[in-house]
């Protein structure tokens, strides 16, 4: 009876183990690298029901963020405007544009426009807009230069590491309160030594102590 | 082949070699009970899966693990949408809750509330602080009532004989009834409604009666919570009811009246009582409460002197008390006291104490007691000059021309009723048994029922019954009166979810009124009462949440003693009660009320304040009766101090099932032995045993209404108990009844030797701390609470805790002296923090999830030191012929105390529980892997583990695991607080000090300051942030705040000398501390106890009699402490030695 397995088969178990270890290593490395928010979220730019261009509305029309996101400085949640807000202008400007049909429909019968949620934090993370924008953190820090975007794109990972980067070192990110909604403004820390001093004073005078423990964001 | 070694069993001699250490006498004894207990720190079953061993479990789960691997495909998160309003809604800011004034009506008293709504979805109610007498508190029932709104089992449609009726059909039907009866002036038309204080309903009933003068309008309540009007009618010649002012009362005598929990107006009475009870410094006065009662109520648990008195002896008792207070009346009253077994000295000294506080004393009787008792009590109050001071009389409003249920039943029997309209209530379930209501109702040709549930009454004869779905009060427009008569609005928070109707709308339609809209109806009523423009008045009314100045005016009264004397009837001997002639007392359940909350999971799961039984009622019997019935348990091996009252096997109360017979009617129920009851009174809570009820209420308890008769609704004599020989398990959350001489709750008397006034820092003379140097060290002892919280070094532990350098340091103080144990905090916390219910089966396994619980301990002082070494004390507490023998109750709210050096943190392998810089012991749910080490290491046992996915799986399919349906009903989702994570299976949770409220308060304050131009003032002012338990506490026992603010209420509370830390000697430095309990007994009373009973037990355990000479009996530790200061070395060595049991 001939041998069922050749002699080389003796090495097979070892080879299998080595390949498996290698494969597992690669898979682990891949997952750790590519499945982090840095890769899964940044660059996310879904197609919205209405192709709203922030660039046009901010740069050409000159709207402030708070015209539409009117409660961002009052509430934890930055509201997406109701169809009524859009219709303030669009009942006069481009009143018959087919692209605006969902807005007109929503305004007429109250059904919401299903905007796709882009900057989504996990349910167990409670981010609050009002406290950030009232205390020198500009929209641009998390959302990027939305004022220049035709299609809103996820610019930052918005991972816990990203939050902590700033919470551990708020001086580097703060702006003058007046500049918070000016997305082209410079951070205090980027304005030379005088700016750095201003940032340090800001942190001291305003008692900026961003929470670094769990209870700050998780409830 | 595998070789198997059989290890030989160790020889008996081997077991006993070497020194033998033992931690308690039972371990030494090696009793099987102790060994069983040793195995499990958590109750039996808390860590096992029912019927599935681990290996089997792995086998089954392997399949799901494999499936899990296949599902890796989608890495991108699922798409979610932001759905903005089409048209902006005024006043709504997405993400910020809005608060509206409303009120919860219950019988004749409404509780004014503020409802928190999130984008039109009410999630939580709080008391309305504009109504000063309640001061922003809400009751247990009010807190839980919001869950009913989202009950998936509520009636969702108007139906007739199973067919759904449209709204138009309903309107048509109601109009049809109106038209049909108008010709006959309403003959053949009958109404059965609940009691109500609504001015609008009163007005509509007036219109209805004008249109249908021959119709019957009757009202029925199975629960009575207001004094009978007949008493005032006799005593004062007018229809009046008493309103008490306990804040002014220095001496209070309560006869069977549970004015702190179940009587009408209990919320404001509790608040008033706590004002007179609270002692913050040495010179503060303190009220004294005498209670004579048959059951053990929460009011009785607060008593300084308590008499166990059968309810049927109440008249004899008040006659005796009245003759002592007002000797001129003795000739008339003494004949009524024959056969009463109450020491004369008790009565005389109590009366003397009352007389010494004329004008500041008050006597009150339970609403269920007969009118004669109340009339005599009014006489006592008149003699004590209490009327106008501590009690005032206001008009009692009854619906004009109202008739009783019995009168209606007679009309039904006569067959003269063609159309019966039942508004609310549930008479088929809870009408007196002798009326045989179900049969009567079936005999009526047409029944219209407005009900929140399709219950017993709606389904009694469904073919002839039209069921109208009622709206929840949070969906309705309406009005009501509070306990003092103030008119409050009932305002809807949300459109009726299922198109429910309000009672006033139904009435308006039946009356054929032009105006049928609930809002319009209320508006018309209010405008007529308040005057002025309807719109403006209504706006103000809704804004304030009350109509200012609408409280009932006080009526000046003179007591007519002759009329009262005539009303008493012939004097008879009090009935002799005994094993074959038991008194049966039907009591309102603190949670189910009259059965209307039977499908409310929060209330079902909330343990009874005294018995601690959840999900069931029980027949409560006294220890003496239990002995005679032969059901005294053999005694637990754990409780060395005394016998266990109820038998607990595997942590479940294994109760004997008895049959209770009264007047030929029988019910069966489990018997629970309850110390503190009158010897031959059997207490039966009503409101359980519903048969047509939703998923939650199914199978909860037995229906006591089936043995109630119309002439003995509250107290029946002639009961008999017979053993059925069966057992049933009760979900009792506290099997430990005694503190066993430990120092958990520290008590002192107000005056006398060793008292609070002698040594306000009495708490430091009790417990381990009195024997050892302070944990805080000499430096720490001198520090202020603020410095202790932030600057005190926290040892050189390997485990690093963060620096407490936050701008706030949170802390809590709980005043045990005012806590009445009402459990409102338990449910308020449940509503605020999305705490799930787990069901009876899981409560029996010790898996209840409440973040805050109220521990209840009994102490009778009759344990002896020998009990700890000898056979133990086999006496049952409260088993005595002496009705004054003390059974003292101590109540303690217990929740996470946020230790600064938290033992839970050091054992967590994944840092899921860590401190933040403001001193909160936080839980990061998404880090938790569920090892439960933290719960093991928590000395307070306040951590709760999600053994199952309580939120996503239904409670009857927990053990089906993945096979069970996943997901919460949409309606239940709406009840959740969006600010708090809904936890999943496998994570630990516990009190967070309401961290969501803290963060919201801090953020809103920061925003406000930044916008006001003072951005640096970020410290939150005191009182801005209130924990949910604190906010609803009717007696202000719980105080939460910033310890760094020296002026904050919590700093002041902690600076009191009676402030102590439970288990403080562990050096874990809890942030929640307690103020010691103070009792105020009268030294002249025959049952005066120079020390609180728990203190007596403590001394007996820790100070063996041999040491009396060295210690001094009266001052075992306090004296020592003083001595220590002089000669430290001797004092501490001495105490150390005897504490360790070495001497």
Interchain contact, A213 vs B802, CB within 8 Å: yes
- Are B1051 and B1110 part of one and the same domain? no
What pLDDT, in 10s, does the model give residues B83-104? 988 888 888 888 899 999 999 9
- Are B341 and B383 part of one and the same domain? yes
- Are B915 and B1023 part of one and the same domain? yes
Neighbours of B365 (CB within 10 A): 30
**Is residue B204 in a domain?**
yes
Assign B1118 a pLDDT band (cuts: 50, 70, 90): very low
Query: CA distances (Å), B98 to each of B268, B775, B862, B1013, in order?
Result: 26, 46, 55, 25
Which of B525, B544, B563 is at the close of a domain? B544
**Is residue B82 in a domain?**
no
Nearest-CA neighbor of B852 among B1050, B604, B1069, B606? B606
| Higher local confidence (pLDDT), B791 or B557 | B557
Q: Is the pLDDT of residue B1124 over 50?
A: no
Contact B111, B142 (CB under 8 A): yes
Nearest-CA neighbor of B1067 among B918, B920, B899? B899
User: pLDDT value at position B635?
Assistant: 57
Phi and psi torsions of B967, nearest 5°: 115, 155
**Is residue B128 in a domain?**
no
Average pLDDT of span B572-588: 88
pLDDT digit of tens for each residue in chain A (219 aa)?
Answer: 567 888 888 889 999 999 999 999 999 998 888 777 887 788 888 889 999 999 999 999 999 999 999 999 999 999 999 999 999 999 999 989 999 999 999 999 989 999 999 998 888 899 999 999 999 999 999 999 999 999 999 888 888 989 999 999 999 999 998 999 999 999 988 888 998 999 999 999 999 999 988 999 998
Contact B528, B546 (CB under 8 A): no
Q: Is the pLDDT of residue B350 over 70?
A: yes
- Provide the token pair at B487: 């008119």
List of chain B residues whose C-beta atoms are within 8 Å of the C-beta of residue A167: none
Counting Cα atoms < 13 Å in the Cβ hemisphere of B838 gives 24
What pLDDT, in 10s, does the model give residues B134-172? 888 999 999 999 999 999 999 999 998 888 989 899 998
Beta strands in B686-756 (DSSP E): 715-732, 747-749
**Is residue B254 in a domain?**
yes
CATH code of the domain in which B673 resides? 2.40.40.20
| All structural domains of chain A with their residue ranges | 54-80+115-216
**Is residue B559 in a domain?**
no
What pLDDT, in 10s, does the model give residues A22-50? 999 999 998 888 777 887 788 888 889 99
User: pLDDT value at position A2?
Assistant: 67
Q: CA B398, CA B258: separation in Å to the nearest integer? A: 23
- Are B833 and B919 part of one and the same domain? yes
User: pLDDT value at position B867?
Assistant: 53
Q: Is the pLDDT of residue B760 over 80?
A: yes
User: pLDDT value at position B779?
Assistant: 80
- Are B209 and B239 part of one and the same domain? no
Q: What is the mean pLDDT of chain B?
A: 84
Average pLDDT of span B178-194: 88
User: pLDDT value at position B642?
Assistant: 52
> For B84-93, B239-248, B865-874, which range has the lowest pLDDT when averaged over its residues?
B865-874
User: pLDDT value at position B28?
Assistant: 44
- Are B1061 and B1134 part of one and the same domain? no
B215-225 as b/e: b if 16+ CB within 10 A: bbbbbbbbbbb
Neighbours of B334 (CB within 10 A): 15
Domains in chain B, number: 5
Average pLDDT of span B743-764: 88
User: pLDDT value at position B601?
Assistant: 92
Interchain contact, A75 vs B94, CB within 8 Å: yes
Nearest-CA neighbor of B1025 among B1054, B1005, B1045? B1005
Q: CA B225, CA A156: separation in Å to the nearest integer? A: 62
CA–CA min distance B82, chain A (Å): 5
The partner residue sitting opposite A107, judged by closest CB among B80, B86, B981, is B86
> For B47-61, B154-168, B639-653, B702-716, which range has the lowest pLDDT when averaged over its residues?
B47-61
Q: CA B681, CA B683: separation in Å to the nearest integer? A: 6
Which of B325, B352, B387 is at the close of a domain? B387
> For B32-36, B114-118, B359-363, B1054-1058, which range has the lowest pLDDT when averaged over its residues?
B32-36
What pLDDT, in 10s, does the model give residues B940-963? 999 999 999 999 888 888 888 888
The 3-state DSSP class for residue B311 equals helix
Q: Is the pLDDT of residue B892 over 90?
A: yes
Q: Is the pLDDT of residue B576 over 90?
A: no
User: pLDDT value at position B1013?
Assistant: 87
Neighbours of B912 (CB within 10 A): 22
- Are B369 and B419 part of one and the same domain? no
Is A74 within 8 Å of chain B by CB?
Answer: yes
- Are B473 and B593 part of one and the same domain? no
Q: CA B568, CA B334: separation in Å to the nearest integer? A: 12
Interchain contact, B86 vs A83, CB within 8 Å: yes
- Provide the token pair at B709: 């008769």
- Are B169 and B190 part of one and the same domain? yes
CATH code of the domain in which B316 resides? 3.40.228.10
- Are B361 and B439 part of one and the same domain? no
Contact B904, B943 (CB under 8 A): yes
Phi and psi torsions of B858, nearest 5°: -105, 145
List of chain B residues whose C-beta atoms are within 8 Å of the C-beta of residue A110: 85-87
User: pLDDT value at position B1138?
Assistant: 37
Is A36 within 8 Å of chain B by CB?
Answer: no
Which burial class, exposed, middle or buried, applies to A11 when counting CB atoms under 10 A from its CB (0-12, 13-18, 19+)? exposed
Q: CA B1127, CA B769: separation in Å to the nearest integer? A: 17
Contact A119, A142 (CB under 8 A): yes
User: pLDDT value at position B1?
Assistant: 44
Contact A141, A88 (CB under 8 A): no
| Higher local confidence (pLDDT), B880 or B667 | B667
User: pLDDT value at position B179?
Assistant: 87
Name, in order, each residue with C-beta under 8 angstroms of B1051's C-beta and a sequence gap of 6 or more: B785, B786, B811, B1041, B1042, B1043, B1045
Which of B77, B84, B1013 to mutate against chain A (most A CBs within 10 Å)?
B84
User: What residues form DSSP beta bridges with B117?
Assistant: B98, B122
The partner residue sitting opposite A84, judged by closest CB among B88, B918, B924, is B88
**Is residue B175 in a domain?**
yes
Q: CA B290, CA B303: separation in Å to the nearest integer? A: 6
DSSP 8-state symbol, B677: S
Which of B74, B88, B95, B803 to mutate against chain A (most A CBs within 10 Å)?
B95
CA–CA min distance A108, chain B (Å): 8
Q: CA B1045, CA B810: separation in Å to the nearest integer? A: 10
User: pLDDT value at position B464?
Assistant: 83
Interchain contact, A209 vs B806, CB within 8 Å: yes
Is A168 within 8 Å of chain B by CB?
Answer: no
User: pLDDT value at position B1097?
Assistant: 82
User: pLDDT value at position B771?
Assistant: 79
Which of B361, B387, B413 is at the close of a domain? B387
**Is residue B68 in a domain?**
no
User: pLDDT value at position B298?
Assistant: 92
Is A214 within 8 Å of chain B by CB?
Answer: yes
Name, in order, each residue with C-beta under 8 angstroms of A20's C-beta and a sequence gap of 6 or more: none
Beta strands in B882-1004 (DSSP E): 888-894, 913-915, 921-923, 944-945, 988-989
> For B35-49, B350-364, B854-868, which range has the lowest pLDDT when averaged over its residues?
B35-49
User: pLDDT value at position B185?
Assistant: 85
Is A43 within 8 Å of chain B by CB?
Answer: no
User: pLDDT value at position B78?
Assistant: 79
What pLDDT, in 10s, does the model give residues B386-437? 998 999 999 988 888 888 899 999 988 888 888 899 998 899 999 999 988 8
- Are B484 and B363 part of one and the same domain? no
Beta strands in B107-157 (DSSP E): 109-118, 121-127
The partner residue sitting opposite B84, judged by closest CB among A80, A123, A131, is A80
Q: Is the pLDDT of residue B49 over 60?
A: no
Contact B364, B260 (CB under 8 A): no
Number of H helices, E strands in chain B: 37, 39
- Are B828 and B930 part of one and the same domain? yes
Nearest-CA neighbor of B454 among B466, B472, B442, B438? B466
Q: Is the pLDDT of residue B819 over 80?
A: yes
Q: Is the pLDDT of residue B8 over 80?
A: no
- Tokens 């750095």 locate to A196
- Tokens 């070192």 locate to A169
User: pLDDT value at position B907?
Assistant: 92
User: pLDDT value at position B608?
Assistant: 92
Q: Is the pLDDT of residue B289 over 60?
A: yes
Q: Can you spell out the DSSP letters for chain A?
A: ---SS-GGGGGHHHHHHHHHHHHHHHHHHHHHHHTSHHHHTTT--PPPSS---HHIIIIIS---HHHHSTTTTTSSS-PPPPHHHHHHHHTTSSTT-GGGHHHHHHHHH-PPP-EEP-S---TT----HHHHHTTT--HHHHH--GGG-SS----S---HHHHHHHHT-GGGT---GGGTT-TTPPPGGGSHHHHHHHHHHHHHHTT-----SGGGT--
Q: Which residues span the domain enclosing B290?
A: 229-387
Counting Cα atoms < 13 Å in the Cβ hemisphere of A118 gives 21
The interface predicted TM-score of the complex, written ipTM, equals 0.89
Helical pair B371-383 and B229-236, crossing angle rounded to 10 deg: 50
List of chain B residues whose C-beta atoms are within 8 Å of the C-beta of residue A83: 84-87
Average pLDDT of span B818-837: 93
User: pLDDT value at position B1104?
Assistant: 62
Interchain contact, B1007 vs A131, CB within 8 Å: yes
List of chain A residues whose C-beta atoms are within 8 Å of the C-beta of residue B926: 122, 124, 218
Is A59 within 8 Å of chain B by CB?
Answer: no
Q: What is the mean pLDDT of chain A?
A: 90
**Is residue B558 in a domain?**
no
Nearest-CA neighbor of B1034 among B756, B827, B803? B827
């Amino acid at each position: 009876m001939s041998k069922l397995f050749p002699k080389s088969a003796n090495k097979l178990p070892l080879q299998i183990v080595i390949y498996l270890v290698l494969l597992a290593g690669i898979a682990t490395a891949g997952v750790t690298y590519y499945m982090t928010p840095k890769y899964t979220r940044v660059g996310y730019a879904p197609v919205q029901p209405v192709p709203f261009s922030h660039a046009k509305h901010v740069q050409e029309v000159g709207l402030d963020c708070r015209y539409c996101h009117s409660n961002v400085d009052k509430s934890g949640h930055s509201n997406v405007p109701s169809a009524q807000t859009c219709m303030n202008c669009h009942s006069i400007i481009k009143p018959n544009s087919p692209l605006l049909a969902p807005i007109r429909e929503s305004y007429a019968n109250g059904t919401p426009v299903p905007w796709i949620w882009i900057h989504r934090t996990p349910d167990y993370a409670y981010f609050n807009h009002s406290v950030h924008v009232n205390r020198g953190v500009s929209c641009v820090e998390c959302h990027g230069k939305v004022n220049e975007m035709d299609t809103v794109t996820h610019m930052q990972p918005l991972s816990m590491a990203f939050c902590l980067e700033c919470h551990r070192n708020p001086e580097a990110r703060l702006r003058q309160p007046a500049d918070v909604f000016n997305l082209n403004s410079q951070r205090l820390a980027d304005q030379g030594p005088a700016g750095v001093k201003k940032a340090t004073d800001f942190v001291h005078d305003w008692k900026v102590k961003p929470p670094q423990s769990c209870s700050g964001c998780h409830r | 082949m595998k070789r198997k070694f059989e290890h030989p069993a160790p020889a008996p001699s081997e077991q006993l070699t070497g020194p033998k250490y033992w931690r308690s006498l039972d371990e030494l004894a090696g009793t099987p009970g102790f060994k069983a207990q040793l195995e499990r720190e958590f109750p039996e079953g808390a860590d096992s899966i029912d019927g599935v061993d681990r290996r089997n479990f792995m086998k089954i789960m392997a399949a799901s693990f494999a499936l899990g691997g296949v599902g890796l495909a989608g890495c991108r998160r699922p798409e979610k949408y932001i759905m903005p309003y089409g048209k902006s809604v005024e006043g709504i800011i997405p993400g910020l809750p809005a608060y509206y004034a409303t009120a919860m009506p219950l019988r004749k008293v409404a509780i004014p509330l503020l409802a928190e709504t999130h984008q039109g979805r009410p999630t939580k109610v709080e008391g309305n602080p504009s109504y000063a007498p309640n001061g922003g508190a809400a009751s247990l029932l009010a807190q839980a009532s919001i869950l009913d709104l989202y009950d998936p089992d509520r009636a969702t449609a108007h139906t007739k004989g199973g067919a759904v009726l449209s709204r138009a059909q309903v309107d048509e039907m109601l109009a049809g009834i109106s038209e049909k009866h108008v010709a006959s002036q309403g003959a053949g038309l009958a109404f059965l409604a609940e009691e109500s204080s609504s001015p609008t309903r009163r007005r509509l009933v007036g219109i209805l009666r004008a249109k249908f003068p021959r119709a019957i309008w009757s009202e029925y309540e199975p629960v009575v919570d207001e004094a009978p009007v007949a008493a005032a009618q006799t005593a004062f010649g007018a229809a009046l009811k008493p309103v008490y002012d306990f804040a002014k009362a220095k001496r209070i005598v309560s006869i069977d009246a549970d004015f702190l929990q179940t009587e009408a107006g209990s919320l404001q009475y509790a608040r008033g009582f706590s004002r007179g009870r609270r002692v913050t410094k040495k010179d503060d006065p303190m009220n004294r409460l005498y209670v004579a009662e048959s059951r053990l109520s929460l009011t009785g648990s607060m008593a300084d002197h308590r008499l166990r008195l059968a309810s049927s002896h109440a008249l004899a008792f008040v006659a005796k008390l009245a003759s002592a207070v007002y000797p001129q009346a003795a000739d008339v009253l003494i004949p009524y006291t024959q056969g009463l077994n109450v020491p004369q000295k008790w009565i005389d000294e109590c009366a003397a104490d009352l007389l010494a506080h004329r004008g500041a004393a008050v006597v009150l009787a339970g609403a269920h007691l007969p009118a004669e008792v109340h009339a005599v009590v009014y006489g006592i109050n008149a003699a004590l000059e209490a009327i106008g001071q501590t009690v005032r009389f206001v008009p009692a409003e009854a619906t004009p021309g109202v008739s009783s249920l019995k009168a209606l039943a007679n009309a039904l029997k006569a067959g003269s009723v063609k159309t019966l309209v039942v508004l609310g209530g549930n008479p088929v379930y809870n009408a007196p048994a002798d009326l045989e209501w179900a049969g009567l109702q079936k005999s009526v040709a047409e029944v219209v029922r407005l009900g929140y549930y399709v219950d017993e009454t709606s389904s009694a004869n469904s073919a002839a019954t039209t069921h109208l779905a009622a709206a929840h009060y949070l969906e309705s427009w309406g009005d009501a009166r509070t306990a003092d008569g103030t008119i409050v609005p009932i305002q809807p928070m949300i459109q009726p979810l299922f198109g429910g109707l309000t009672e006033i709308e139904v009435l308006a339609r039946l009356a054929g009124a032009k105006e049928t809209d609930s809002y319009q109806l209320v508006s018309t009523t209010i405008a007529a009462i308040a005057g002025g423009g309807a719109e403006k008045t209504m706006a103000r009314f809704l804004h304030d949440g009350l109509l200012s100045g609408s409280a009932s005016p006080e009526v000046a009264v003179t007591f007519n003693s002759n009329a009262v004397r005539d009303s008493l009837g012939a004097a008879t001997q009090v009935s002799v009660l005994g094993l074959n002639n038991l008194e049966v007392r039907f009591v309102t359940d603190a949670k189910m009320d009259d059965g209307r909350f039977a499908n409310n999971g929060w209330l079902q799961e909330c343990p009874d304040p005294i018995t601690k039984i959840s999900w069931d009622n029980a027949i409560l019997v006294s220890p003496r009766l239990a002995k005679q019935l032969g059901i005294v348990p053999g005694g637990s091996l754990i409780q060395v101090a005394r016998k266990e009252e109820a038998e607990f096997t595997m942590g479940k109360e294994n109760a004997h099932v008895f049959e209770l017979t009264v007047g030929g009617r029988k019910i069966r129920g489990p018997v629970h032995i309850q110390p503190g009851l009158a010897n031959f009174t059997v207490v039966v809570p009503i409101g359980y045993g519903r048969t047509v009820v939703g998923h939650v209420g199914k199978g909860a308890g037995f229906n006591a209404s089936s043995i109630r008769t119309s002439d003995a609704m509250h107290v029946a004599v002639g009961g008999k108990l017979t053993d059925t020989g069966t057992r049933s398990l009760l979900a009792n959350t506290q099997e430990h009844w005694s503190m066993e001489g430990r120092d958990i709750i520290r008590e002192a008397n107000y005056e006398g030797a060793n008292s609070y006034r002698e040594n306000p820092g009495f708490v430091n003379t009790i417990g381990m701390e009195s024997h050892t140097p302070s944990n805080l060290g000499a430096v720490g002892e001198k520090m202020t609470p603020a410095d202790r919280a932030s600057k005190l070094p926290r040892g050189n532990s390997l485990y690093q805790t963060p620096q407490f350098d936050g701008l706030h340091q949170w802390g809590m103080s709980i005043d045990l002296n005012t806590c009445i144990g009402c459990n409102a905090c338990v449910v308020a916390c449940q509503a605020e923090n999305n705490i799930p219910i787990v069901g009876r089966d899981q409560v029996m396994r010790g898996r209840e999830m409440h973040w805050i619980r109220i521990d209840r301990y009994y102490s009778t002082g009759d344990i002896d030191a020998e009990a700890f070494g000898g056979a133990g004390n086999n006496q049952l507490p409260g088993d005595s012929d002496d009705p004054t023998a003390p059974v003292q109750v101590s109540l303690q709210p217990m929740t996470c105390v946020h230790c600064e050096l938290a033992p839970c943190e050091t054992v967590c392998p994944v840092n899921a529980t860590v401190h933040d810089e403001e001193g909160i012991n936080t839980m990061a749910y998404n880090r938790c892997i569920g090892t439960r080490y933290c719960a093991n290491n928590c000395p307070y046992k306040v951590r709760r583990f999600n053994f199952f996915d309580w939120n996503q799986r239904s409670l009857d399919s927990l053990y089906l695991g993945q096979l069970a349906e996943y997901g919460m009903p949409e309606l239940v989702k709406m009840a959740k607080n969006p600010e708090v994570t809904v936890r999943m299976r496998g994570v630990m949770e516990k009190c967070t000090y309401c961290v969501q409220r803290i963060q919201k308060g801090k953020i809103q304050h920061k925003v406000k300051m930044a916008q006001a131009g003072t951005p640096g003032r970020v410290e939150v002012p005191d009182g801005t942030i209130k924990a949910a338990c604190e906010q609803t506490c009717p007696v202000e026992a719980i105080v939460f705040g910033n310890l760094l603010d020296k002026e904050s209420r919590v700093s002041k509370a902690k600076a009191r000398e009676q402030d102590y830390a439970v288990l403080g000697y562990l050096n874990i430095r809890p942030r929640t501390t307690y103020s010691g309990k103070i009792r105020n007994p009268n030294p002249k009373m025959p049952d005066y106890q120079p020390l609180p009973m728990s203190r007596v037990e403590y001394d007996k355990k820790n100070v063996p009699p041999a040491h009396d000479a060295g210690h001094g009996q009266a001052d075992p530790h306090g004296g020592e402490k003083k001595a220590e200061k002089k000669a430290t070395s001797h004092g501490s060595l001495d105490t150390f030695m005897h504490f360790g049991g070495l001497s």
